[in-house]
Structures are given as structure tokens and as C-alpha cells.
Amino acid sequence: MSELAQPAISAEHLVRRFGSFTAVNDISFRVEKGEIFGFLGPNGSGKTTVIKMLTGLLPLSGGEASVLGIDVRKDPETVRENIGYMSQNFSLYSDLTVTENLTFYGRIYGLSNDRLRKRMDEIVQLNGLGPYLNRLSAQLSGGWKQRLALGCAMLHEPKLIFLDEPTAGIDPVARRQLWDLLFELSAHGITFFVTTHYMDEAERCSHVAYIYYGKLIADGTPDSLRELPDVQPPGTYRVEITTPEVTRALRIARTLPGIRSATIFGQSIHALINDDLDLDHLRELLLKQGIVVAEIRPLAPSLEDVFVELTYKHQSEIEATRG
């Protein structure tokens, strides 16, 4: 296999059991080099377990995984030497200064003094940490802590970085800035494995996967997922209905023929409707019930729609096998 064709992560039929409980149930996926891979799922669905398996902390109960071409079962140490990892609480030592935190992680990765100095300069330049070098990390704001943590995770020039909910509890500006930084680094060939709860962040990923209670129920680019038949059944389309009375409108919309499903999104309703129901007709039907529609337009499904639809489908499949 050539260098180029080798994926950054390849997971095949991963299984992890804790006693009789199966936390990760036969999961397979590939992350190509240079991708920003968004790994999504509700809390407790197995995201952290998968990360622990890929970083060699948890032995696999079944399946195979290789990270940067290294088998995690055979050589977890080498895997850990070549990846970066940033957890959601940023894992900094609050009583150490910015420089001391960087120095510590640099030494952990065995960087020589010269290389450490050079890498620190580069990272400080890239992350803009310059003015804060002698500040205790406890005194940094959330956004700066996050940049420092990312800096610590990439001192040793890893080709793959795991980010576990990197933007939890961070203000929107800092979130935007972090993503800009990720895109820049990704352009330099670094692969990112990111878990997040934010759908807008998922939309920015070049590749997303959704794990639901141990099962992988979606895997692909955001656009390819939107076109899945389960999300967009043949003979249907999605519309956004904007109205001043969303709650009442939702109640009525759900009773109308031709509307398959409807949910509220802020000041509007997202509905999945049959092809034979055209927009003008829908507007009339609502008006008859006393609902004034400000705007009505076709809509591509969001990733949230995708995950909601796939979760419903997965749940009904589970119930079907049980029943």
C-alpha cells in the first residue's frame, strides 16, 4: 500500500464490551489524511470509548484498528507518540504559566531543547499566545486556554490530532477562531478527529459520522448524508414555513394531509411533505385554519435533520427486531 493511499485512521468491526454491556458494537470507518472528521453522538453513546480504543488506552474486545498505519493493539506506545490529543477541559496546569505548560508537554514528547524552542516559537506565532507567555494559565480566558491546549497537543508535530469537544463552554468568537485555525492546519495536511455537540460545527467537517448507543448509524460527507434515502425519502421534499404563531401552526400542520413530519426551528417550522403538495396549496390550507404564513420555501435538510431521521429509523429497527 502506498503512503498516500494509507488512511489516517482505519477501524474495522470495532467492538468493546464492559461485562455484558456492549459499549461499541461493530463499528467500521476510515478517516483519510487531511480530513476534519466530525464524530458525533449523544452523551454516553460511546464516543469517548472509541477515542480510548484508537489511542490504545482500552484494549479492543474485537475488530482491528490502525492509526497512522500503526496497529493500536500491537504498538499503542508508538500511536501515542505520533498523535496529539486535547480533551474538553483543556488539561492545562492552572498553576503553571503558558511557557511552563508548553515546556512540560514538549518534554513529555521528548523534544530536544533546540527543537522545543523552535516549535514553541512557531506555535506562539500561530496561536497568537505571545502576550501571555508568563501568565498563569488559570488567568487565561476560555478561548486562550483552548489555544494553549491545542498548542500543547501539537508541539511534537503530530499528523493526527484528537479533539474531544474542543469548543464546549467557549464563546462564539473563540469557537469561530478555533475552526479557522483547524482549517489552516488541515490545509497543511494535519488530520483532525473532532467530537462535538454543535451541529454548525458538524457542517464544517469534511467527513462526519454519527454514533448512536454503540452503533454507527451515519458515515459520509455532510452532503452525501443529506441525500440518503432515509433522510429524503423518494417523493418528498422539505420546506421551511415562517409564521408568527409557530406553536399553533405546528399543531395544525401535523394534522394536514401530505405533511409527513414537522418540527419547530426557532421562528419557523421545518416540515417533510409529499411531492404532490405544492407550496401555494399548503399556504392556503394553513390560512383556512387561521395561520398567516409570512414565508414558505423549500429547504435542504440540515445535519440535525439527518441525525434525527436516522435515529428514528434506527430506533424503529430495534423495536422491530424486538417485537
Partner 1 sequence: MVNPFRGFSAVFYKEALHVRRDFGTLFFSLIIPLLQMFLLGFGIDTNIRQINTVVYNADGRRESRELLDRLRNSDTFNLIRFVNSDRDLNEAIVSGKCRVGIKIPVDYSDKLLHQMSAQVLVLIDGSDSSVAGQAINVTTSIGLDESLRRVLGSSNAPFAVDMRPKLLFNPDSRSPNFFLPGLTAILLLNVTTFLTAFSIVREKERGTLEQLFVTPVRPMGLLLGKLLPYLMIGFFELCMILTFMRFVFSVPIHGSVLLLALLSLPYIFVSLSLGILISSKANSQAEAMQLAFLTILPSVFFSGYIFPRETMPKFFFILSYFVPATFFIDITRGIILRGAGWADLWSDALALFLFGTILLVIAARRFQNKVIMA
Residues 109-128, mask of contacts with partner 1 (x by CB under 8 A): xx------------------
- Answer left, alpha or beta for residue 30, where phi above 0 means left and psi between -120 and 50 means alpha: beta
Residues facing residue 62 across a β-bridge: 15
The minimum distance between CB 28 and partner 1, in angstroms, equals: 22
In DSSP terms, 21 is beta-bridged to 18
Residue 55 touching partner 1 (CB under 8 A) = yes
Are the beta carbons of 207 and 38 closer than 8 angstroms? yes
Decide if 4 contacts 193 (C-beta within 8 A): no
**For partner 1, which is the closer residue by CB, 93 or 237?**
93
Residues in CB range of 215: below 8 A, 6 or more apart: 25, 26, 27, 314
Nearer to partner 1, 86 or 272 (CB): 86
Question: What x-and-dash track marks residues 124-163 binding partner 1 by CB under 8 A?
Answer: --------------------------------------x-
To partner 1, the closest distance from the beta carbon of 142 in angstroms equals: 14
Binding mask 6-45 for partner 1 (x = CB under 8 A): ----------------------------------------
Instruction: Give the nearest distance from C-beta 284 to partner 1 in angstroms.
Output: 57
We find the least distance from the C-beta atom of residue 18 to partner 1, in angstroms, to be 9
d(CA 293, CA 240): 11
Q: Is 179 left (phi over 0), alpha (psi -120 to 50) or beta?
A: alpha
Size of the site for partner 1 (CB under 8 A): 29
Please, how many CA atoms are within 13 Å of residue 16, restricted to the half-sphere of its CB?
Answer: 24
Question: Is the separation of the CB atoms in 296 and 279 below 8 Å?
Answer: yes
By the 8 A CB rule, do 29 and 11 touch?
yes
Q: Which of residues 193-252 bind partner 1 (CB under 8 A)?
A: none
Q: Could you give the string, one character per residue 162-181, with x where binding to partner 1 holds by CB under 8 A and - elsewhere?
A: x-------------------
Interface mask toward partner 1 for 67-106; x: CB under 8 A: ----------x--xx-x-xxxxxxxxxxxx---x--xxx-
Out of 107, 118, 197, 281, which residue is the one contacting partner 1 (CB under 8 A)? 107
Q: Which of 166, 183, 179 is nearest to 85 (CA)?
A: 166
Q: How far apart are CA 298 and CA 273, in angstroms?
A: 10
Please identify which residue in 17, 28, 34, 52 interacts with partner 1, judged by CB under 8 A: 52
User: What is the smallest separation between the CB atom of 108 and partner 1, expressed in angstroms?
Assistant: 5
Burial bucket for residue 74 (CB in 10 Å: 0-12, 13-18, 19+): exposed
Determine if residue 34 is left, alpha or beta; phi over 0 gives left, psi from -120 to 50 gives alpha, anything else beta.
left
Q: 263: which residues sit within 8 A by CB, 6+ positions away? A: 250, 269, 270, 271, 308
Stretch that binds partner 1, among 54-62, 197-205, 243-251, 270-278 (CB under 8 A): 54-62
Residues 236/230, Cβ–Cβ less than 8 Å: no
From the CB of 100, what's the least distance to partner 1, in Å? 6
Q: Which of 6, 57, 169, 300 binds partner 1 (CB under 8 A)?
A: 57
Measured from the CB atom, the residue of 191 and 243 that comes closer to partner 1 is 191
Regarding 306 and contact with partner 1 (CB under 8 A), the answer is: no
Binding site residues, partner 1, CB under 8 A: 52, 55, 57-58, 77, 80-81, 83, 85-96, 100, 103-105, 107-110, 162
